[in-house]
Amino acid sequence: MEELKSKIRNIPDFPKEGIVFKDITTLLSDSRSFHRMVDLIAHRYFNQKIDQVVGVEARGFILGAALAYKLGAGITLVRKPGKLPYRTKSKTYALEYGTDTLEIHEDALKPGDRVIIADDLLATGGTVSAVVELVEGLGAELVECAFMTELMFLDGRKRLPEGKVYSLLQFD
């Protein structure tokens, strides 16, 4: 895991002063590391009969699509308002300064679908908490929320269903 962690670049003071941004583009652009990361996460779910992987805008689309392909599952996109062409369900959630909204097609998931929510990073958990509500609101069964990385010091997993969080790489 340390080898994969070493592929993630730290960008100080981005997007604002005092924040050290974890830039995953350096891991994604390294073909060996990208394949290894996807394989390690996908291996966790091979025998769990996953129907859909829900990718969270925008970097979650990368991990979500790769996992869906490896697992023989479909990919469902959760996007910002106005980006999906069909009728949607939406969820507004709190941010540090204000609110944001996410949408999913109202027919994207069927009751009983076994679902993984995939995103690149678990920070405070606010965004993925909203996605969990959208997924469960459509009657799907949440198997787990899967992340490439997790910032442990932000305690984001406390906002998500207990026992339903997996992160490949953790940063203290």
Q: Which residues are catalytic?
A: 59, 96
CA 55/CA 115 separation, integer angstroms: 10
Distance CA 118, CA 130 (A): 13
Cα 35 from chain centre: 17
Query: Which H or E run includes 20?
Result: strand 20-23
CA-CA-CA-CA torsion sign (113, 119, 124, 128): negative
